[in-house]
Structure 1
């Protein structure tokens, strides 16, 4: 006999429960098997509750991905650029090596990645992440650690590139050593003035 799911309230609680259920379904079953019915059951809501807020599974997945990716990697303020970059890179690695992070990457860069809405959400997520991380560079400029013409987006692309290369292209192991190496690369490039 199936276990009864708890009944979830309205508004923000429903949204959070459905997002969590969506990500859990993505981790457990993958994009191809993700259904509104399974998400609703896991979230403890009726499927019409889900359809009332999201037109289809892709709209739901886009919303859940955007929310998860925006909140998963905090922006550090350690007082020094080298430690800020190291903490940022380590957060990126922790996020994308977790089961949820792996499922998110698989969804964004595999079959689901071909869905125009998912591709647009991926772009929005990365744009948002670059924008939220810009104060790290602004603070470094204010402290005199970097020249004012350094482009914050380019610093974070240089930071993320070695991590994503290993995650998505070469399949090499990704750990704190990878993160620390990526941070050193981005810091050296930023200080050399090649990221303006």
Structure 2
């Protein structure tokens, strides 16, 4: 008979840990969080956290994703340009909020921690690229976009200026800027 040792994992406990990690992230920033602080806030032991996550970065990213995935729905209006505008506009509004500003902190920490960089790329940015890819693929199928598009390059073309302003220049990222990026990008990829 195969018996598991220990108590079963509680979804409520897991939720408490994720919420604690996210709250601490918003309150203090990534660098100030420790597994000890997460455990204290969630009222669990450090060992409980380590049963689910290998390190601080993994639990913080999961806490962030657990909260933010709900806030970023995938648009499907029937218009590719409108869907891309909604996706980019929603994301930029999120990025420029306090909740979203932690993305820059996580990216900065990832420059010194390759494991963290790998976690946030796979868990956060790859799924968002997939959303953009789905939107563009729908546009090709509907005949709105050229069939021979290099979708990965188009995604970089659209998102590159957002992250350039976010991480490098600090210039304003607003609705007008997002519209301009989308309009310029779509001028070159629309099916005529």
TM-score normalised over the length of structure 2: 0.82
For residues 4-45 of structure 1, the C-alpha deviation after alignment (integer angstroms, 9 at most, x for no partner) is xxxxx9543333332232122122212221111211222343
Supply the distance in 2 between the matched residues of 1:57 and 1:147 (Cα, whole angstroms). 44
For residues 134-178 of structure 1, the C-alpha deviation after alignment (integer angstroms, 9 at most, x for no partner) is 221121112211111113322222221121111111001222222
Supply the distance in 2 between the matched residues of 1:139 and 1:172 (Cα, whole angstroms). 32
State the match for 1:101 in structure 2.
100
- Structure 2 stretches of 5 or more lacking a match? 1-7
Supply the distance in 2 between the matched residues of 1:173 and 1:67 (Cα, whole angstroms). 28
Shift of 1:72: 4.5
State the match for 2:3 in structure 1.
none
Q: For 1:32, what is the secondary structure of its paired residue?
A: helix
Shift of 1:117: 1.2
Of stretches 47-56 and 76-85 in structure 1, the one that deviates more from structure 2 is 47-56
State the match for 1:121 in structure 2.
119
Q: How does 1:1-196 map to 2 (within 5 A)?
A: 10-65=9-64, 67=66, 72-108=71-107, 110-124=108-122, 125-191=124-190
Supply the RMSD in Å over aligned alpha carbons. 2.5
**Contact 2:39 / 2:46 at 8 angstroms: preserved in 1?**
yes
Shift of 1:70: 5.3
Supply the distance in 2 between the matched residues of 1:163 and 1:171 (Cα, whole angstroms). 10
**Contact 1:23 / 1:100 at 8 angstroms: preserved in 2?**
no
Supply the distance in 2 between the matched residues of 1:66 and 1:130 (Cα, whole angstroms). 15
CA change 1:70–1:149 in 2 (3 A) is farther
Supply the distance in 1 between the matched residues of 2:10 and 2:179 (Cα, whole angstroms). 40
Supply the distance in 2 between the matched residues of 1:119 and 1:157 (Cα, whole angstroms). 18
Shift of 1:66: 5.3
TM-score normalised over the length of structure 1: 0.81
List structure 1 segments (4+ residues) > 6 angstroms apart after TM superposition.
Answer: none
Shift of 1:78: 0.8
Task: Name the count of aligned residue pairs.
Answer: 184
**Contact 1:66 / 1:121 at 8 angstroms: preserved in 2?**
no
**Contact 2:84 / 2:132 at 8 angstroms: preserved in 1?**
no
